[in-house]
Every structure is written in C-alpha cells, then in structure tokens.
Structure 1
C-alpha cells in the first residue's frame, strides 16, 4: 500500500490555520552549498554532540556544549585524531563536561573517520555529505553506522538532522504512520525494511517536490497533531 501525498498534505493542512502557518512549521534542510561550506570541525562537533545526546536529556548536553567546544579546541579533526588514552583520562577530571569515558573515546575515532573520508574522496567531509543523494539516505545511515563510532541506530539520522542534511527520521509517530499505510509491518530494522521505507519516501518526494525532512514531519503530524 502506497502513501498518497494529496491525502498527506490535506490531513496536515487541516492542523493549521493557513498554508503559511503550515510551511513555517515544517523544517528546512541546509542547502548543498551551505553544507559544503561547513568546516569539518563542525561535522565532528555535531557527531560528538549526537553521541553525547544519546540516552541523555538533550537540553543538559546542549547547555554543556560550549564547554566541550573549549575543552576540545573546536573539534579540529586533525588535532582530535591525536588524542591519547592518557588525555582522555585527563578529561575525566573536567567537571565542566560530561565525563563519560566510552563516549569521549569516540571523538578521536570519529576524527579518524572524517580524515579517512577526506583522503578517500579527495574532498572535504562536508562535500561528501552534501553530494550524497537523498534517494539513498539510508545508504548514508549505513555508512555512518559502519565506519563511525556510536553512529548506529537513530544516531546517524540524528547527526544528519543536526548539520542540516536532508533526511527523514524514524520517530515513533513516523513509524506508526508507515505501519498504518502498509509500507512496513513493524518498526523497520532490516535493510529490506529500510529500503521499503526509502522507496516510500522517494515516491512522496517525487509527488510533492518536498525535502525528506518535511515529509517526515508531515507523516508525524498525521499521528500526533502537537496542538
């Protein structure tokens, strides 16, 4: 069973007083050229922020992030890749940051990931992310999970949303609509199920011209109006 964009649009539109109100509510991805202009330090910072947010109240992590930026010298990958186990031990004494050793250890590992992509592709990490096609965003999720540190599960999509790369999110409400529409029978975890979800989003995108992040938000609003 396919999702019908006209039904999706009309259902969500009924939640708002006007077209302008609906459009103002929906998220917007960062333009490709803006993603390319972001320094690789911003990508490492966002990766790290997503890692620390996992399992924690986001506002608590966000409030401490300026201290992280200072403690980790702005997250320059070429500097962070050189962090030693002894230096990580030293950060465990810094009460201005969140002292979680396993998560701290992901910083040099993800710095190496970024540097490896730069070397392999001959471009900045931002160019690599910007050029990845939205029609295969789950392929980018898979790469982040396989080669990044603690970027599996929802963290890959969460990281991409943080930096502004267009992606859908598999929140509970989005999954509920996908199940109700017959796209999948259960919360998607297998590659086959995720491919079915990707194809459903691709069809919605072709019918609407909207970015994935907006379609994701619209699907969510059909379950939870948030008003």
Structure 2
C-alpha cells in the first residue's frame, strides 16, 4: 500500500492558519554543502549529545552542553581519540556535566570512528555524511549503529537530525500513521521491515518533492496535531 500525499498535505494543512505558517513549522535540512562545511568537531559534539540525550530529558542535556564543550575542548576528534581511561574517569568529578561513565567513554570511541571514516574516504566526516543518499538513509543508520558507540536504535536518526542531515524519525506518531495506512503492521524490527518504511518515504518524497524530515513531521502531525 502507499500513502496519499495529497491527503497528507490537506490533513496537516488544516492544523495551521496559512500555508506560510505550516511551512515555517516544518523542519529544514541542511544542504550537502552546509553539511560539508560543518567541522568534524561539531559531528562529534552532536554524537555525544545524542548519546547523553538517550533516556534523559533533552532539555537537561542541552542546558549542560556548554559545560561539556568546555570540559572536552570543543570535541576535536584528534584530541578526543587520545583520551585515556584515567582521563575519562577524571571527568566523573566534574559536577558541571552529566557524570555517566559508560556514556563518557563513548567520546573517544566515536572520535576514533570519525577519524577512521576520514581515513577510509579521504575526506571530512561531514563530506561523508553529506554524500550519503537520502533514498537509503536507513543504510546510514545501520552504519552508525554498527560502528559508532551507543548510536543504535533511534539514536542514529536523532544524531542526524541534530547535525541537519535529512532523515525521517520513527516516533510513535509516525509509526501510528504508517500502521494506519497499512504500510507496516507493527514497529519495524527487521531490515526487511525497515526497507518497507524507507520505500514508503521514498515514494512520498518523489511525489511531493519534500525532504524526509518534513514528510516525517507531516506524518506525525496527521496523528497528533500538537496544538
């Protein structure tokens, strides 16, 4: 089965006073060039922020992030990859940050992941992210989950949304709409299920010309108006 984009658009449009209000509300993705220009320290910072957001209120993590930036010298991957276990444990004494040892240990691990990707592809991590096709965004999720530290599950998509890479999110509302439309029968757990979801988004994108992030938001709004 397929989702009817015209129905989706008209359903969501009713939530807003005007076309302009709806467009202003929908999220925006960065262009490939903007993603390339973003420093790899920003990608490591976003990875780390997403790791800490998992299981916590995002606002709590966001409020403390300036202290993280200071404690970890701006998240330069070259420096962070060299952090020793003793140095990481030393940050457990810093009351200004969130002291979660297992999550702190992901910082040098993900720094090395970024450096490895740079070496393998001969370009910045941002260039690698920018070049990944949105038509296979679940493939990028798999790579992040396999090679990154604590970037599995919904954290991969959450990280990509933080850095501005176009991606959909499988929130409970998005899943509810996909189930109601007969695209899936339950939350996708297998790669086959995930490909069905990707195919549905690809078809919507081809029909609408909209980025995945906006289609994801529209699917969510069709279930939960949030007003």
The answer to whether the superposition gives a TM-score over 0.5 is yes
1:62 equivalent in structure 2: 62
Measure how far apart 1:189 and its partner are. 1.6
2:140 equivalent in structure 1: 140
**Counterparts of 2:22 and 2:60 in 1: how far apart (Å)?**
30
* TM-score, normalised relative to structure 2: 0.99
1:117 equivalent in structure 2: 117
SS at match of 1:222: helix
1:220 equivalent in structure 2: 220
* TM-score, normalised relative to structure 1: 0.99
> Are 1:166 and 2:166 counterparts?
yes
SS at match of 2:170: coil
> Are 1:183 and 2:215 counterparts?
no
Any unmatched runs of 5+ in structure 2?
none
1:51 equivalent in structure 2: 51
**Counterparts of 1:225 and 1:91 in 2: how far apart (Å)?**
42
Matches within 5 A, 1:68-87: 68-87=68-87
Measure how far apart 1:31 and its partner are. 1.1
**Counterparts of 1:154 and 1:124 in 2: how far apart (Å)?**
24
**Counterparts of 2:57 and 2:4 in 1: how far apart (Å)?**
35
Any unmatched runs of 5+ in structure 1?
none
**Counterparts of 2:17 and 2:91 in 1: how far apart (Å)?**
50
**Counterparts of 1:24 and 1:85 in 2: how far apart (Å)?**
45
Measure how far apart 1:14 and its partner are. 1.1
Measure how far apart 1:46 and its partner are. 0.1
1:33-81 superposed Cα distances (whole Å, 9 cap, x missing partner):
1100000000000000000010011111111100000000000000000
**Counterparts of 1:63 and 1:27 in 2: how far apart (Å)?**
22
**Counterparts of 2:16 and 2:95 in 1: how far apart (Å)?**
45
Moved over 3 A (4+): none
1:126 equivalent in structure 2: 126
1:155 equivalent in structure 2: 155
1:36 equivalent in structure 2: 36
